[in-house]
């Protein structure tokens, strides 16, 4: 070849040599990048969907809690009203039970008063007869301690009282304000109804 020839000029017999694989661009790099991108893209999309689902469930849970708090606040007034009615009902039921217990007793109050009057000695005055939760309370005055002791013995031995009352006991005995008599209080406790 001649020396004056341009070294960059192509010769007339030039062609591409496709047998040189080392000089050709690799297609593996493109394929690997695509697979890695697809895997990470899918992972990112799944993470995004999971994050959206968690956000939605938390929001739904907050909304549901707020609704139930509102319902509980509304029903609190109703619950308080029902509890108040139950207390009133219990009080009324107690009164009815007490009245039923009094009605069911085998003792007629007028007969009791008549028996107290018949057994009362002359030195004993009865000031008050009262029905209490414990039983029947008889309050009055007596001239002396000995008279009161005899009166208590007579009451405890009288079959008109022992058949109806489980216990006849002295609740109080003290000097009266006038200084000459003594005041007393006797409790007649009814026997339980059969």
Q: For the chain, what are the domain ranges?
A: 27-104, 109-190
Written as six digits, the tokens of 98 are 């007490």
From CA 84, how far away is CA 76, in angstroms rounded? 12
Q: CATH fold of 109-190, please?
A: Gyrase A; domain 2 (3.30.1360)
Mean pLDDT for 6-10 is 65
Mean pLDDT for 76-99 is 88
Q: Which residue has the higher pLDDT, 121 or 13?
A: 121
Please give the pLDDT value at position 107.
56
pLDDT at 28 over 60: yes
Evaluate whether 154 touches 120 at the Cβ level (below 8 Å): no
Report angle CA 62, 77, 85 to the nearest 5 degrees.
Answer: 145
pLDDT at 47 over 90: yes
Please give the pLDDT value at position 54.
96
Please give the pLDDT value at position 16.
58
Q: Which residue has the higher pLDDT, 32 or 72?
A: 72
**What 8-state DSSP symbol labels residue 43?**
H
pLDDT category, 36, cuts 50, 70, 90?
Answer: confident
Mean pLDDT for 68-75 is 88
Evaluate whether 193 touches 106 at the Cβ level (below 8 Å): yes
Mean pLDDT for 64-74 is 91
Residue 10 DSSP SS3:
coil
| Residue 121: partners with Cβ closer than 8 Å, 6 or more residues away | 147, 150, 151, 154
| Residue 24: partners with Cβ closer than 8 Å, 6 or more residues away | 18
Mean pLDDT for 40-65 is 96
From CA 123, how far away is CA 137, in angstroms rounded? 19
Ordered DSSP codes for 61-75: HHHHHHHHHHHHHHH
Beta bridge partners of 140: 126, 184
**Per-residue pLDDT tens digits for 114-160:** 888 888 888 888 888 888 888 888 999 898 888 888 888 888 888 88
What's the gap between Cα 148 and its chain centre? 53
Percent of the chain scoring above 90 in pLDDT: 22
Residue 138 DSSP SS3:
strand
Beta bridge partners of 125: 141
Mean pLDDT for 165-169 is 85
């Amino acid at each position: 070849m001649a020396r004056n020839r341009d070294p960059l000029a192509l010769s007339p017999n030039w062609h591409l040599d496709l047998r040189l694989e080392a000089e050709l661009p690799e297609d593996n790099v493109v394929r690997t990048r695509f697979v890695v991108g697809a895997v990470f893209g899918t992972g990112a999309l799944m993470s995004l969907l999971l994050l959206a689902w968690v956000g939605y469930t938390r929001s739904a849970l907050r909304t549901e809690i707020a609704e139930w708090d509102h319902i509980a606040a509304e029903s609190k007034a109703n619950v308080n009203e029902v509890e108040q009615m139950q207390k009133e009902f219990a009080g009324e039921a107690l009164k009815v039970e007490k009245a039923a217990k009094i009605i069911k007793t085998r003792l007629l109050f007028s007969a009791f008063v008549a028996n107290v009057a018949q057994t009362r000695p002359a030195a004993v005055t009865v000031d008050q007869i009262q029905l209490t939760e414990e039983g029947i309370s008889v309050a009055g005055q007596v001239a002396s301690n000995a008279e009161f002791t005899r009166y208590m013995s007579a009451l405890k031995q009288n079959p008109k009282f022992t058949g109806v009352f489980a216990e006849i006991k002295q609740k109080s005995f003290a000097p009266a304000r006038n200084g000459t008599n003594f005041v007393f209080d006797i409790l007649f406790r009814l026997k339980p109804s059969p």
